[in-house]
């Protein structure tokens, strides 16, 4: 018992001496067991060494504070009875995740903005301006903007990238649309193309209320229109109409000559 008391007194004196001389504690203290702050009975575990911090009350949890020597950077891990908080105390600070190569892979700013790094210098960012939030992707050079998705309306337009395409709630404004087609309608002008006689065309229209091989109004309202396919089909009808006109012109010319 006497030896044990001497060890405790010796450890205490060493600690006081180190603090008074401004020396940092370099040995394990205590040499075994867990450490409690705000509690004399820290929780124990057979697998882990634990630093157990107890708050003053349920809504006044304890926290670990980290800061630079001049307090220009300050953060804390804070817990109460209802939340776990990672708290950046200074403006312009950010959370940063790095890989084993010490390369940033993700960053979350104190203003809510976020950056995900990709290949080369490419990255995706989430930010906001006075109108609202947006997502922007930068190319491998780290400066060229690849695409931008706005979470707000700009000049009355709002677009949403969804399911591999673009769903637009409003009008699409563009200078040019290039639609890839799998074929074109010039087959109408080939000699083997069978042009429907006008009498049969009239019968079909009276019966069905639309042109042959053109979708009905009900089909369009339900499924929409494939622009590439529809443009080919409309060109087919224009070319057929041209052949009808040429044929009629020839018959009129024959009648006039007679």
pLDDT in tens, 66-92: 899 998 999 988 888 888 888 888 888
Please give the model's pTM, rounded to 2 decimal places.
Answer: 0.49
pLDDT tens track for 123-170: 999 988 888 888 888 888 888 888 888 888 777 767 666 656 777 777
8 pLDDT higher than 80: no
Burial class of 166 by CB neighbour count within 10 A (0 to 12, 13 to 18, 19+): exposed
Question: What is the residue-wise DSSP string for 156-218?
Answer: TB-EEEETTEEEESS----S------S--GGGGGSTT--PPPHHHHHHHHHHHSS-TTS--HH
Which pLDDT score, from 0 to 100, does residue 219 have? 93
Closest alpha carbon to 179 in 217, 132, 228: 228
């Amino acid at each position: 018992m006497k030896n044990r008391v001497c060890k405790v007194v010796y450890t205490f004196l060493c600690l006081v001496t180190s603090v008074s001389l401004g020396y940092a504690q370099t040995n394990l203290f205590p040499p075994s067991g867990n450490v409690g702050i705000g509690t004399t009975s820290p929780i124990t575990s057979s697998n882990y060494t634990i630093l157990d911090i107890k708050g003053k009350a349920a809504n006044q949890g304890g926290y670990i504070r980290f800061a630079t020597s001049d307090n220009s950077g300050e953060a804390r891990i804070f817990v109460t009875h209802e939340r776990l908080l990672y708290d950046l105390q200074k403006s312009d600070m950010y959370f940063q995740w790095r890989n084993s190569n010490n390369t940033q892979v993700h960053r979350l700013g104190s203003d809510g903005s976020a950056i995900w790094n990709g290949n080369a210098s490419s990255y995706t960012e989430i930010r906001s301006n006075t109108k609202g939030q947006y997502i922007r992707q930068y190319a491998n050079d780290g400066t060229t903007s690849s695409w931008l998705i706005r979470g707000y309306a700009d000049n009355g337009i709002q677009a949403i990238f969804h399911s591999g395409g673009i769903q637009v709630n409003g009008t699409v404004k563009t200078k040019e649309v290039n639609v890839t087609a799998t074929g074109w309608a010039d087959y109408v002008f080939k000699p083997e193309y069978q042009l429907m006689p006008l009498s049969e065309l009239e019968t079909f229209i009276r019966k069905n209320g639309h042109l042959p091989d053109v979708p009905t109004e009900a089909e369009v309202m339900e499924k929409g229109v494939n622009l590439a396919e529809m443009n080919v089909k409309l060109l087919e009808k224009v070319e057929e109409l041209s052949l009808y006109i040429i044929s009629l012109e020839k018959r009129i010319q024959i009648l006039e000559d007679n």
